[in-house]
A and B are shown apart, each in its own frame.
Chain A
C-alpha cells in the first residue's frame, strides 16, 4: 500500500498543528461557534448527541495492520473501546473529548493517518472497490489513480468551501462494487481501443433526500487528464452550485436543473484552458505511485485441501459466503462480518481490531480493507490456511457466514448517536437479525441487501438496498418506511416505497412477509432483486397490507 514520504508526512503534521491552533483559538473564544464549525468539520469532528464524533479517513478503504492496531489503541485510550466502520470506508469514534482531539490526530499521524476532509463541504475520502488489486474481474487497479486523486484533493485551495460535500468513487472492475453511479463524481476505468487506460466519468449521482443516479458526462477520458477534468467539474459546481438552501446544494441538483448537456458545456469550457496544464498526470508520477501497490510475494502451487472440510457445515457456509475468488490461484479474499447478531452493524471492539490486525500479519501480508458494506477484509489469504484462519477468527466473532445475505445489514448510527435522526436504526437491524438467525434459512433466501437509514440523509444507503428501511418522524414518534427494488452496482436503481410506514415492533415481521412473498414467487435460482424486478411491487403490497394492521 501507499507509504508516506517526507512530503506527505509534513502535510499531515502541519495539519495537526493548524488544527491544534484552531481549537485553542476556539477554546479561548477567539473563534465563534459559527466560525469554528467549518474548521472542525473539515477535520471530521461533529458535535453529536453524546459527545463529539471524530471520523478518521481510511483512504479507499485500505489499512495496514499497524494502522488498525493504532485505531484499536486510540479507541481504548480516548474512547470506549470500539469504533464504527462506515459505509464510506472510514472509521468513527463516538465518544472522544474535544480537548483530546489534537492528541488523537497526533497519534494518527504517527501511523500515516488523519481526519482531513472526512466531513465538511469539501472533497471527501475517495472510495473504491474493497477487492481492488485482487479480484479476478479487474480491468485496472483503481488504487493508483485513487491515491493520486487523494493527494490532489487534499487541501485543494479552490475547493475547500464548496456548496456542499463532494464524494468521488472509483471502480476498475467489470462488476462495480464502489457505487460509482451514486456519487458526485464516479470514475469507471476501462481500456480503450488503443489499449490505453481510460475513464468513463459519471457526475451528479447521490443519495440523501433527493436520490439520483448519475449521468455520464464523458464516455472516454484518457487517464492523464483526470485531475484537470475533475478540476473543471468542481469549478463549475463551486461557482454555480446552490448556496441558499443546503438541501439543494449538492452537484446532483445543479446537473439536474441545468441538464447534463448544458452542464457538460460549462465543464468543457473550463477544461479547455487547463487541459494539458501543470496538473496533467505524467507517466513518472503514475509509476511512482504504482510501485507501492505492486503484488506481494504470492506463493505458487498452494494445495487446495478445501474439499476435506466439506462435512464441516459451518465452515462450508462461511467458505461459500465470506470468501471471494482471487486473481491468483490458491488465494482468496476473506470478508470478516461485523454483522453478528446483537452487535451494531459496522462496530468493531478494540479486541476485534487487534485480532484482525494480528491475523492480517499472519495470513494476509499485513493489510486490511474496509468495505462500504461495513465489513473488514483480508484480501490475500492462502486457501490451505483458510480453515486455520476461520478457527482463530471465530474466537473473535468475525465469521458469521452472512456476507451478502439479509442480515449483512448496512446501517447508519441513527437515533442512538446521531442528532439528525428521525428514528433509531441499530435496534431495527438487531431485531431483524434476531428474527433471521437461522443460517440455513438465510442461505436459502440467498443474496439480499437490506439497508437502514435513520433519516432521509441516507447514510445507510437505504435507497439502493434491495430492501430499504428509512426512519421517519410522524407526530413525534418513530416510524419506518419500506422501499423495494433498490440496487447498487452496474444496474443501480432507487427503491420504490411500498406504502404507509410501520412501527419499530412491526418491522421484523414486515421483513418476514416480504421474504415469504419472494420465496413463494421465486423461480429456480432467482435471487431476491431479480424476483422483485420481475413480479413488481404489487404482490408484496397486497400481502403486507392485506389485513391492514396499524400503519402510518
Chain B
C-alpha cells in the first residue's frame, strides 16, 4: 500500500514528489537506533557529501530536503517562483539556523516535517514555531511515523496535511481529527483559549 495523504479533512492525491537524501553510511547508523537522534549542537546533518549527491527530478512539483534546496538555491529560482519547490526537514534539524539562508518561507507552497518515531513530539513545537514565530501560511505537512492518534495534535500545532504511514488506512486516521470538539487552550489552529471563545 502506498501512503495516503490527508489534506484538510479529505483524502487527496499527492501531487508532490518527495525527494530523499542520498544514502550514505552515516545516515544508516543514525536511523538504526530505536531512538530519535538528539541534536543540540555538534556535527552537521545531513553531511555535506550527502547533500551534494542527492538528486531530484528536473521538472514538476518536488519536495526537497532543506539542505539540498539551499545547496541548489541559485538554479532553483525560477522553479521556486513557479511554485514547484517545497522543502522538508527532520525533527532534529534546527530551522532557525537556516532561516536567513532560505529567505521568505512563504515562497514555498509546502513545507513538510519528517517524524521518525510516533513518540517524537518535537514535531508539534516545530509546527507551532513555523506558524507563530516564522508566520508560515501555506501547506504544512507531517510525514513519517504519522498515525491516527497524533493527527489531532498535529492539526492543533499548525499542520494541515498528513501523509499517513503506509501500512495504515487514512480513512480510519482521518477520524482522529475529530477527537475533541472544543479544546481548552489556544494553539496554532484555534488561537484563542476556550474562555475567550465562549462565555463560560
A residues sitting closer than 8 Å to B (CB atoms) are 5, 7, 10-11, 14-15, 18, 22, 35, 38-39, 121, 151-163, 227, 235, 238-240, 242-245, 270, 273-274, 277-279, 282, 284-285, 288
Contact = CB atoms under 8 A, between A and B. Distances in A.
Contacts of B188: 157
Contacts of A5: 200
Interface in B171-200: 179-188, 191-196, 198, 200
> Which of B124, B128, B153, B154 has the most chain A CB within a 10 Å cutoff?
B124
Interface residues of B, number: 46
Given A11-B182, A152-B184, A278 B122 contact: no
B36 A243 contact: yes
Contacts of B124: 157-161, 238
A244 B35 contact: yes
A157 B193 contact: no
Nearest to B192: A278
Interface in B5-20: none
A152 B193 contact: yes
A121 B119 contact: yes
A240 B152 contact: no
B41 to A, nearest CB: 10
A157 B195 contact: no
Contact of B147 (A35, A156, A279, A285): A35
Given A158-B128, A239-B122, A14 B133 contact: no
Nearest to A120: B119
A14 B35 CA distance: 31
B179 to A, nearest CB: 5
Contacts of A245: 35
Nearest to A5: B200
B121 A160 contact: yes
B152 A239 contact: no
10 contacts: A18-B179, A154-B184, A154-B185, A155-B180, A155-B184, A157-B153, A158-B121, A160-B121, A278-B186, A278-B191
Given A238-B121, A288-B195, 5 more contacts: A5-B200, A10-B182, A155-B184, A159-B121, A244-B37
Interface string B22-45: 000000000001011110100000
A7 B185 contact: no
B63 interface: no
Contact of A7 (B36, B38, B192, B198): B198
Given A157-B157, A160-B153, A285-B195, A7 B132 contact: no
B156 interface: yes
